[in-house]
Structures are given as C-alpha cells and as structure tokens.
C-alpha cells in the first residue's frame, strides 16, 4: 500500500479505473461479475486497489516493474500464511491481461483494519512485540527455493551498497539542512556491518501503510510485493520509522537482533528517510515533518547506541 522507494527513475504508471476493473472481472471471472467495484482510498502506488464487494480486493500493478511480483505472490503467500502469527492477504484468483490492461493481476481476500500510525497504536510496546513475533515467524519458515533479491523487489534483502548513489544524492541535496556528517557516519557503519549470509524470508516493506490495526492492536500485515529470501535487515527499519524508543527496545529484544543486523537495519531506515527528506525539502507539510522527525530518531538512537558500546561494560 505504501509508496515504496526504489532504484532508478520512477516507473511509468498506467491509469486504471473502476469500469476497467468491472470489465476484467466480468470477462475472466463471471461468477463475480455482479459484485460492486469501488476504488480503495489511498490504495497505494505499486498497485491500483479496488474493493470487490466487501470481502475481496482487486490489485492491478500500475507499471511493468510492479507486475513482476504477481506470480511470486500467488506462488508463495498461500504457503507462508498458515505459518504466520497474523493474517496476510491470500490470493483467490489470478487474472490475465485483457480489456486493454497489459499485466497479470490478482483478486485477494479482504483484510479489515486501518493503517498503523503512532497516534492509533494503543500500546506501543505490545505493538512492537506483536510485530517482532510476526517477523520471527516469517524468518523461521524454510527459505528453500524462495525468491532472491532482484528487480521484482527492488533488491530488498541484498546489500545496502546497492542504494549508495541514492544516499549520496540525498546527502548532497540536504547539505546545510541536516547533519550530513553524522548521516554519512551512520551509513558507513551500516555498510561495514557484515551479514553472515544466512538467508531468511523477509517482507521487504514493513511500513505504516502495510500494518493494519484493529482497536489499536496489530491485526494483519499486507502487501508482500517486495518479499523475498535474503538478509532480513530491511525489515528492521520499522524500528526507527514507526516505533517509540521503548517499543524499539522491545522489538529488538523479542526479535533477537544482533548488533550487525541492527546496524544494517538502521541503514535501511536511513536510506528510506534521507530520500524522503530530500524529496520534501523546502516543503512545510506533514510528510516533510515526519521525515525530519524520523531522521532525528535515527540520529539520536545511533549516538546513544554508540555511547553504550563505548562506555558500558
């Protein structure tokens, strides 16, 4: 559901409306042709999302690059779902190109909930633990044959150095506006933190819009378009982009994140946040304020963590 940062130029998106979705459903799945179709508010960037009645959703990739995830999701989500501690979307049917739409597309079961945000979370520590338990369950699933990092997920699960040029461009743009020297130090620390090569499953975009709440508690995790098998540090970025300081500590302890993985996770959060700060530079809106707040969280936590490593026995 989120606008996921990725490498290179932004893919050229195609427009999709409810009438096109009705035609596709009627042509390919006539048993559902009578059901109403309505666009989902804030339906995301990678996919156009529509309600199909109240119990299903239709997701149509908005560009060729995003369509690479369709087969992956149909192959793996039914296997992952029974092994996880929270509900995830389960594909019900896969559509083919048609009616002028050029990509494969999906019909999913609908999961109720509202996107997570700091003000909606009832208990920040409980939320962090529940999320850590979900990721722990995901990482425990046999990764054999799973999709390795690649274009299908913008190289999530691979090396942070893939994003080095984006980070340097963002730092150049932000020079004089934020502490770029500290940011460079954190980025270097993350790059120097080696991964032992043990592959596990990861979600790839653990972000506010993909974490659903029910009565303030974590109820479901959605949008596995960037999932894969590799270094799970990318999923640790949520510790800085959403969690409180207390929640961050509980998350780290429950997920048993070692120092090197924690540093790489901080690097993923830094990359994501620096690009957001550069994109919103000079704007006085909510997104700009959130990006600067998260950057401050990353800076403060890194300094405190470095102090503990240096001075505590």
Domain count, the chain: 2
Per-residue pLDDT at 5: 61
d(CA 142, CA 145) in angstroms, rounded, equals: 9
- The tens digit of pLDDT for each residue in 242-267 reads 999 999 999 999 999 999 999 999 99
Res. 1: pLDDT tops 60: no
d(CA 235, CA 290) in angstroms, rounded, equals: 19
Per-residue pLDDT at 311: 73
Which CATH number fits the domain that encloses residue 30? 3.30.200.20
**Residue where a domain stops, chosen among 91, 111, 131:** 111
Res. 269: pLDDT tops 90: yes
Domain that holds residue 76: 18-111
Q: For the sheet containing 91-95, what is the strand order?
A: 37-39, 47-52, 56-61, 105-109, 91-95
* Single pTM value for the model: 0.95
Question: Is residue 163 a part of any domain in this protein?
Answer: yes
Residue 9: band (very low, low, confident or very high) from pLDDT cuts 50, 70, 90: low
Same domain, 104 and 127: no
Question: Is residue 59 a part of any domain in this protein?
Answer: yes
In this prediction, residues 27-44 reach a mean pLDDT of: 94
Same domain, 123 and 247: yes
- The tens digit of pLDDT for each residue in 220-247 reads 999 999 999 999 999 999 999 999 999 9
Res. 24: pLDDT tops 80: yes
Same domain, 183 and 306: yes
d(CA 283, CA 285) in angstroms, rounded, equals: 6
Same domain, 265 and 192: yes
Residue ranges of alpha helices (H) inside 119-203 are 124-139, 164-174, 180-192
Same domain, 26 and 156: no
């Amino acid at each position: 559901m989120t606008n996921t940062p990725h490498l290179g130029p932004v893919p050229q998106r195609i427009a999709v409306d409810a009438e096109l979705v009705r035609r596709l459903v009627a042509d390919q799945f006539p048993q559902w042709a009578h059901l109403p179709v309505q666009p989902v508010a804030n339906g995301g960037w990678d996919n156009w999302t529509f309600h199909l009645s109240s119990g299903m959703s239709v997701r149509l990739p908005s560009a060729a690059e995003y369509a690479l995830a369709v087969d992956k999701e149909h192959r793996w989500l039914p296997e992952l779902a029974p092994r996880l501690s929270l509900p995830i979307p389960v594909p019900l049917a896969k559509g083919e190109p048609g009616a002028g739409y050029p990509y494969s597309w999906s019909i999913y079961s609908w999961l109720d909930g509202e996107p997570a945000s700091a003000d909606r979370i009832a208990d920040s520590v409980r939320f962090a633990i529940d999320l850590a338990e979900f990721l722990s369950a995901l990482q425990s699933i046999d990764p054999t044959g799973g999709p390795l990092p690649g274009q299908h997920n913008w190289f999530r699960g691979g090396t942070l150095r893939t994003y080095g040029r984006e980070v340097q461009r963002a730092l150049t743009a932000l020079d004089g506006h934020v502490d770029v020297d500290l940011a460079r130090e954190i980025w270097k620390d993350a790059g120097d933190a080696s991964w032992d090569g043990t592959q596990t499953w990861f979600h790839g975009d653990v972000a506010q819009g993909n974490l659903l709440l029910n009565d303030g508690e974590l109820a479901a995790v959605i949008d596995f378009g960037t999932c894969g098998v590799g270094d799970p540090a990318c999923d640790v970025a949520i510790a800085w982009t959403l969690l409180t300081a207390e929640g961050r500590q509980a998350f780290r302890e429950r997920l048993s994140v070692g120092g090197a993985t924690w540093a790489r996770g901080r690097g993923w959060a830094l990359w994501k946040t620096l690009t957001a700060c550069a994109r919103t530079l000079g704007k006085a809106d909510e997104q700009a304020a959130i990006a600067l707040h998260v950057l401050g969280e990353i800076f403060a936590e890194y300094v405190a963590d470095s102090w503990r490593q240096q001075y505590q026995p």
